[in-house]
Amino acid sequence: MIHTARTAVALHEASHPIACRSGGEPPPDFGALAWLLEKRWRDAATRRVTICWASARAARRLGGVTKFDRRAGQLEHDLGTASVLVRLHETRPEPAARWIGEDVLRRDFAPGCPLLRKTPDAAIVAGPRIVRVIEYGGQYPADRLRRFDAHFYGRHNIPYEIW
């Protein structure tokens, strides 16, 4: 019920959010944030790793979702997002326990939810309500970060963290 593959990826494990917005704070400097995200990826070391993912049978049995995308950029992004969840479990276990990943958000929350016309990498939920969105920053230009902020914080008043 588990698949494995060996591949080369540039890994960057998240240790803390590099931008947050909540409670009426001003927006981050999107240009500086875009530069930091690009630099992080440029400086990431590439190494060979073994990755594991659930089979479709395992996902059906456990009520989850599964996919495997061999494109290096997507795989690196997914591994980085997973590192955010691991770090949250270490530092803030209560919100980590309420984490819903992107694919489950898309499946269970997105239909009819205007908030999720843009799906973040994850959300912290309280019952049926999204209380914080989490994004693992890729090589995003400043304008993409600005649109993310405008949608989640500006339009829907949802706090966010960009890791």
> What pLDDT digit, counting tens, does each position of 96-118 carry?
999 999 988 888 876 667 777 78
- What's residue 36's pLDDT? 95
Whole-prediction pTM: 0.86
- What's residue 150's pLDDT? 96
- What's residue 38's pLDDT? 93
- What's residue 94's pLDDT? 97
- What's residue 108's pLDDT? 82
Chain-centre distance for alpha carbon 94: 18
In the chain, what are the domain boundaries?
A: 12-44+81-162
Q: In Å, how far are 58, 91, 103, 147, 153 from 61, measured between CA atoms?
A: 5, 30, 16, 37, 36
- What's residue 81's pLDDT? 94
- What's residue 69's pLDDT? 65
- What's residue 72's pLDDT? 66
- What's residue 42's pLDDT? 87
- What's residue 112's pLDDT? 67
Residues 20, 160 contacting (CB under 8 angstroms): yes
Residues of the chain short of pLDDT 50, as ranges, are none
